[in-house]
C-alpha cells in the first residue's frame, strides 16, 4: 500500500477530473487522502479517498470566485488572466501549504499528487523532499518556443516567422504582461520559506513535479520540440460507466432516431454552468425545426426551470444529467461549452464537436478542436440560434469531421489513461519504501518514525 496525498484547487474543473484516478488508486489498495474545497467532500469520499476539506478563508467555490470576478471586473484577456493567477491560484498558497504541512505530519505521505494548477502541493513535496506528480485538467499550458502563450487561442506555426512570433509573444508575456505576476509568485515562495525561481511561473508545475501527466493523446495537443522529459502522455482520465443511472422513459427514441436515419445531437451547458441562455437555449431554438433528435443536459438546474415541458420543441429531450459514457456512443455530434474532459469523452466515442466558450481554457480547447480537424468553434460564448444550426449542419454534412474524430478515437482506444497514471504515481515510490514511513521532518521538529 502506498500513502498518497492528493491536492487540488477548490474548483469543479480541478476536482472532477481527478475522481476516476483517485477511485482507481483506492481500488488498487492504496491509501488516498485528498485535500480540497469542502464543496467536494462528498464526491471525494465517494471514491474511497479520505476527504480533508480546506478551512476558511482558504476554501472557496466556483460561485464565490464568480462573485469576486464580478466585483473586480477585469477586462477580458490578459487582465482577466492576471486577476485569476493572483487571486485564485497564488494568494491562497501560503494558507493551503500551512494546512498541508499539518496534514502531512499526520498522513506521512510517500508521494504527492496534484492537479496541475495546485502549486501548494508541489511546494509541499519540495519542502519535504517527496516525489510528486501533477496531472493536467486542461490543454497543456506550458510555455514553448513552438507555441503561442496559453489564452491566445493561436494555433502553432512551424515556419520561421511562426517561431519568431512565438518567441516574441512568450517573451512579452513573461517579461512585460505577466511580469508583476511573476514577482508575486516568487513573493509567495518566499512567504512559504522557499527560494525564488528564475524560470517563468507557468513552467513551475512541470519543473517541480517528478512526473507531469498530460491526460490526453499527442494527436490532440500541439507538437512541441522542447517538452520536459518529466512529461508523459497517459490518455484521458475518463470516468467509467455510471453506476445506478436509470434510463429515462424516452431512451428508446435514441435507437428509433438512428434507425430512421435522424441524427442525434447532444447539447450540454456543463455540470455547473447555470447560464443556459448563453448556449443551451439558443441551440434548442435553432435546432427545433431540424429533422434530428436533440438531447439537452442542463447540468446544475432543474430542466423545468430552464424550459418548461409545455414549451419544448417536439424533437427535444431535456434532462439535468446524462452520463456521457451512455449517450455519446449513440450520438452524431456534441455541442458544448468546451469542457476539456467532455471534449475528450466525445472524441473517445468518435464524435465530432461544436464548441462555444470564452474563457482562457475553452479558447485553447476550441483552438485544438479546429487544429485537430474534429469539429467547429463558434468563437463566442453567446452564439445565436442560427450560428449553432449552421455549425451543426456543417459538421453533419462534411464527413471529414467524423473521419478525423474516428482517427482520434482509435488513438484514444490504444491508451490506458487511469492505468498509466496510477503506475506513474506508484512507480515513484520504491518497493521497499511502500511499507515504510517517509523520512521527513514535521513542523514540530521531530523526525517521523
What's the pTM?
0.88
HSE at residue 233, side-chain half, CA atoms within 13 A, is: 17
Q: Are residue 195 and residue 285 in the same domain, yes or no?
A: no
- The model's confidence at residue 91, banded by pLDDT at 50, 70 and 90, is very high
Residue 120 inside a domain? The answer is yes
Q: Are residue 199 and residue 280 in the same domain, yes or no?
A: no
Residue 339 inside a domain? The answer is yes
Q: Are residue 121 and residue 26 in the same domain, yes or no?
A: yes
Q: Are residue 196 and residue 101 in the same domain, yes or no?
A: yes
- The model's confidence at residue 403, banded by pLDDT at 50, 70 and 90, is very high
Residue 441 inside a domain? The answer is no
Q: Running DSSP on this structure, what letter comes out for residue 251? A: T
Residue 445 inside a domain? The answer is no
Per-residue pLDDT tens over the stretch 14-64: 999 999 999 999 999 999 999 999 999 999 999 999 999 999 888 888 888
* Per-residue pLDDT, 359: 66
Q: Are residue 326 and residue 361 in the same domain, yes or no?
A: yes
Q: Are residue 283 and residue 386 in the same domain, yes or no?
A: yes
Q: Are residue 429 and residue 384 in the same domain, yes or no?
A: no
Q: How many domains does the chain have?
A: 2
Q: What is the CA radius of gyration of the chain?
A: 22
Q: E-assigned strands of 262-327?
A: 264-268, 293-297, 316-319
Any idea how long the chain is?
A: 449
Per-residue pLDDT tens over the stretch 198-246: 999 999 999 999 999 999 999 999 999 888 899 999 999 988 777 778 8
Q: Are residue 198 and residue 267 in the same domain, yes or no?
A: no
Residue 448 inside a domain? The answer is no
Tell me, rounded to whole angstroms, the distance of Cα 214 from its chain centroid: 11
Per-residue pLDDT tens over the stretch 331-370: 999 999 888 989 999 999 999 999 997 666 788 999 999 9
Which residues span the domain enclosing 335?
252-413
Q: Are residue 70 and residue 202 in the same domain, yes or no?
A: yes
Cα angle 376, 381, 386 (rounded to 5 degrees) comes to: 60
* Per-residue pLDDT, 318: 94
Q: Are residue 317 and residue 420 in the same domain, yes or no?
A: no
CATH code assigned at 355: 3.40.50.2000
Name the helix (H) or strand (E) containing 297: strand 293-297
Q: Are residue 291 and residue 261 in the same domain, yes or no?
A: yes
Q: Are residue 75 and residue 151 in the same domain, yes or no?
A: yes
How far apart, in whole angstroms, are the C-alpha atoms of residue 113 and residue 134?
A: 6
Sign of CA dihedral 323, 325, 329, 332: positive
* Per-residue pLDDT, 275: 78
Residue 446 inside a domain? The answer is no
Residue 443 inside a domain? The answer is no
Amino acid at each position: 500500500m502506498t500513502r498518497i496525498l492528493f491536492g487540488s484547487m477548490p474548483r469543479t474543473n480541478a476536482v472532477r477530473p481527478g475522481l476516476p484516478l483517485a477511485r482507481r488508486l483506492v481500488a488498487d489498495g492504496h491509501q488516498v487522502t485528498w485535500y480540497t474545497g469542502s464543496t467536494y467532500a462528498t464526491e471525494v469520499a465517494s471514491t474511497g479517498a479520505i476527504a480533508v476539506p480546506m478551512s476558511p478563508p482558504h476554501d472557496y467555490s466556483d460561485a464565490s470566485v464568480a462573485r469576486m470576478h464580478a466585483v473586480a471586473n477585469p477586462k477580458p484577456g490578459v487582465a482577466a488572466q492576471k486577476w485569476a493567477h493572483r487571486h485564485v491560484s497564488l494568494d491562497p498558497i501560503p494558507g493551503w501549504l500551512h494546512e498541508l504541512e499539518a496534514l502531512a505530519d499526520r498522513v506521512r505521505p510517500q508521494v504527492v499528487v496534484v492537479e496541475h494548477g495546485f502549486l501548494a502541493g508541489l511546494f509541499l513535496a519540495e519542502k519535504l523532499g517527496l516525489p510528486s506528480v501533477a496531472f493536467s485538467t486542461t490543454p497543456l499550458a506550458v510555455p514553448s518556443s513552438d507555441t503561442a502563450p496559453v489564452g491566445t487561442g493561436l494555433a502553432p506555426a512551424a515556419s520561421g516567422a511562426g517561431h519568431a512570433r512565438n518567441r516574441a509573444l512568450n517573451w512579452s508575456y513573461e517579461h512585460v504582461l505577466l511580469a508583476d505576476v511573476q514577482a508575486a509568485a516568487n513573493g509567495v515562495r518566499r512567504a512559504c520559506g522557499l527560494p525564488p525561481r528564475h524560470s517563468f511561473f507557468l513552467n513551475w508545475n512541470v519543473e517541480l513535479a517528478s512526473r507531469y501527466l498530460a491526460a490526453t493523446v499527442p494527436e490532440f495537443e500541439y507538437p512541441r520540440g522542447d517538452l520536459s522529459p518529466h512529461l508523459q502522455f497517459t490518455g484521458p482520465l475518463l470516468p467509467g460507466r455510471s453506476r445506478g443511472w436509470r434510463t429515462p422513459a424516452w431512451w428508446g427514441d435514441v435507437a428509433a432516431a438512428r434507425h430512421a436515419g435522424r441524427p442525434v445531437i447532444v447539447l450540454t451547458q456543463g455540470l455547473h454552468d447555470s447560464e443556459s441562455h448563453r448556449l443551451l437555449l439558443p441551440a434548442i431554438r435553432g435546432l427545433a425545426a431540424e429533422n434530428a433528435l436533440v438531447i439537452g443536459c442542463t447540468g446544475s438546474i432543474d430542466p423545468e426551470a430552464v424550459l418548461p415541458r409545455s414549451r419544448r420543441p417536439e424533437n427535444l429531450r431535456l434532462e439535468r444529467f446524462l452520463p456521457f459514457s451512455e449517450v455519446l456512443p449513440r450520438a452524431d455530434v456534441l455541442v458544448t461549452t468546451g469542457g476539456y474532459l467532455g471534449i475528450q469523452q466525445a472524441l473517445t466515442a468518435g464524435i465530432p464537436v461544436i464548441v462555444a466558450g470564452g474563457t482562457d481554457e475553452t479558447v485553447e480547447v476550441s483552438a485544438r478542436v479546429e487544429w485537430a480537424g474534429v469539429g467547429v468553434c463558434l468563437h463566442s460564448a453567446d452564439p445565436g440560434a442560427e450560428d449553432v444550426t449552421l455549425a451543426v449542419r456543417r459538421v453533419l454534412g462534411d464527413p471529414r469531421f467524423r473521419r478525423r474524430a474516428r482517427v482520434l478515437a482509435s488513438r484514444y482506444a490504444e491508451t490506458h489513461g487511469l492505468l498509466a497514471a496510477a503506475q506513474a504515481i506508484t512507480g515513484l515510490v520504491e518497493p521497499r519504501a511502500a511499507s515504510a514511513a517517509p523520512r521527513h521532518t514535521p513542523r514540530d521538529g521531530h523526525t517521523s518514525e
